[in-house]
């Protein structure tokens, strides 16, 4: 049977993918995202998810490889991962009370048939007004402030109350994988669920 390979080493994506009940393995793509030109967010996630899938696919002759990439965007500017607690604080302060977007690109390759499919999922979020005390409390609670493109984890602790409204894929924002589109995309490349 054709194996499913998730082209990531992200523990959050790996854990989330398990919810689908599909056997898979995870394999890092080693794609250097820092060299990607920062352009339109949709073009960027499409390009990076494709590069990640292709990098892993070249090592397998009978597999279905799933590459993904996610980014946040605020006022037309791509949000890089905060590199310090101070930068994360500034990010959250700027987003407080504002709308922003979260994009995930997914690219799937069936290496035995060369069938491919791609999709971009966009979620729009509204953050409630945050006090400086709340932001500091979160940053003290969660030392992984730099693991999320948006600088906070909407699943845990104080930050679970940050989002006032969400339009689009809930899984896209909370899990980094819009799980609801994966089964249909797998069917498109010939995988029998």
Q: Collapsing DSSP states into helix, strand and coil, what is residue 121?
A: strand
166 assigned to some structural domain? yes
Establish whether 32 is a catalytic residue: no
Cβ-Cβ contacts under 8 Å for 127 (sequence gap 6 or more):
95, 96, 97, 98, 99, 100, 162, 163, 164
193 assigned to some structural domain? no
Q: Which residue's entry shows tokens 């709340």?
A: 134
9 assigned to some structural domain? yes
* Distance (Å, whole) CA 119 – CA 138: 33
| pLDDT single digits (tens) 13-71 | 899 999 999 999 999 998 877 656 667 899 999 999 999 999 999 999 999 999 999 98
| Residue 92 tokens, joined | 């959250």
* Structural domain count, the chain: 1
pTM: 0.88
In contact, 141 and 161? CB cutoff 8 Å = no
Query: Which candidate in 32, 62, 69, 142 is catalytic?
Result: 69
Q: What is the pLDDT of residue 154?
A: 60
Domain at 36, CATH number: 3.90.950.10
- Cβ atoms < 10 Å from Cβ of 25: 10
| pLDDT single digits (tens) 102-138 | 999 999 999 999 999 999 999 999 999 999 998 888 8
Is residue 163's pLDDT more than 80?
Answer: yes
Q: How high is the mean pLDDT of the chain?
A: 87
Q: Which residue's entry shows tokens 């490889």?
A: 65
Domain around 59: 3-188
């Amino acid at each position: 049977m054709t194996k499913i390979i998730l082209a990531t080493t992200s523990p959050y994506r790996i854990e989330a993918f398990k919810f689908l009940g599909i056997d898979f393995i995870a394999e890092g793509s080693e794609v250097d995202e820092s060299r990607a030109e920062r352009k339109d967010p949709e073009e960027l996630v499409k390009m990076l998810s494709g590069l990640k899938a292709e990098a892993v696919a070249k090592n397998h002759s009978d597999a279905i490889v799933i590459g993904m990439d996610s980014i946040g965007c605020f006022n037309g500017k791509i949000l890089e991962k905060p590199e310090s607690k101070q930068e994360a604080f500034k990010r959250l302060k700027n987003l407080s009370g504002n709308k922003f977007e979260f994009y995930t690109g997914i690219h799937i390759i069936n290496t035995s048939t060369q069938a491919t499919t791609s999709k971009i999922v966009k979620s729009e979020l509204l953050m409630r007004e945050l006090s400086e005390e709340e932001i500091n409390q979160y940053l003290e609670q969660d030392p992984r402030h730099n693991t999320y493109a948006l600088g906070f984890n909407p699943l845990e602790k104080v930050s679970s109350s940050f989002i006032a409204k969400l339009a689009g894929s809930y899984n896209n924002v909370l899990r980094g994988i819009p799980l609801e589109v994966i089964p249909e995309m797998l069917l498109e490349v010939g995988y029998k669920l």
